[in-house]
Structure 1
């Protein structure tokens, strides 16, 4: 389960929580409750619509998937280090969409594009 802490009840001093995801052991899946107060608060604090927030989360998910993929391909001769992670994160903060496109190309996800490309954060 994934539960967020929403606040503190001033009368009882107990935490107010919201179960965002719950695990269904029958089919080993997670079920979304339909609402996250923290997700909403982040969107509001950034002055984003929920669509903007969803788009940003999707981009960040792609970056994390790329890092997992890259780490899985590491070898002793070609290790994957914290510096590689730093380069990808710096690239993302400089230009999020370009960083995501770079990861797609490197992972062979780009439609009609070459898979022989630079890694995110490594500019020509």
Structure 2
């Protein structure tokens, strides 16, 4: 028989592990991606190492990953030209690496869903650790 305390403790372990995965996905040890070498983020498709038209030898370098929107598995990656001429962003889904959890909370107008961002995660719309959904 599982008690409420045991369930809560197991959930805390899962959230701690998820937070560690999200922090690892977000932070790069070395943001300089070299052509032909794997990106520090662990990905290799998309714009990683793609040539830029501005200068011979210019490539797109993966410089940042932040949490994005209200879907807790979507991240926004930023790629910058190695010569500084342009910057691109792309949305990436990492189903096994959520950056937060959706929670139902009570409020003056009844229960509603909000997203709680894990500690240490950078979110484009972050407001005190909670991303509020847009009113419908």
Bin for the TM-score computed over the shorter chain: under 0.3
More helix by share: 1
More strand by share: 2
TM-score of the pair, normalised by structure 1? 0.26
TM-score of the pair, normalised by structure 2? 0.25
Bigger relative contact order, structure 1 or 2 (CA pairs below 8 A, ≥6 apart): 2
